[in-house]
Amino acid sequence: MKDRNYPIILGHQYRKGVMAVRNYRGLGGYAVLLCRLKKDYQTGEVFGLEDVKSVETELVFTEREALEITVRTMNKILDEWKEQEEQEGQDAAV
């Protein structure tokens, strides 16, 4: 079987959501599920399992260290994004 990479694009559609689940599939730890939802939701709006149409991908963390590394990586991306926006704002003001 050939390895394939299917991108999950977040931010362009409101019918996608992120859900955290404890002890997912009996593996222990936590899982982050990227879901396709049955209807549109606004950013920050709460949805439940009954609102999930399908699960597109699962990030399962069975060790806390793996979650910490992922969170640090995401925070680094967020910091870089904010710095870029600030720089673009300063460039536009000149």
pTM of this prediction?
0.70
pLDDT of residue 23: 83
CA 30 to chain centre: 14
Judge whether residue 11 has pLDDT over 60.
Answer: yes
Please list, in sequence order, all residues whose beta carbon lies within 8 angstroms of the beta carbon of residue 46, skipping any fewer than 6 positions away. none
Q: What pairs with residue 31 in β-bridges?
A: 21, 60
CA distance 8 to 54: 13
**What pLDDT was estimated at residue 14?**
67
Residues in a beta bridge with 17: 35
What pLDDT, in 10s, does the model give residues 44-84? 888 888 999 999 889 999 999 999 999 999 999 999 999 99
Q: Break the chain into its structural domains and give their ranges.
A: 1-62, 63-94
Q: Is 69 helix (H, G, I), strand (E, B) or coil?
A: helix
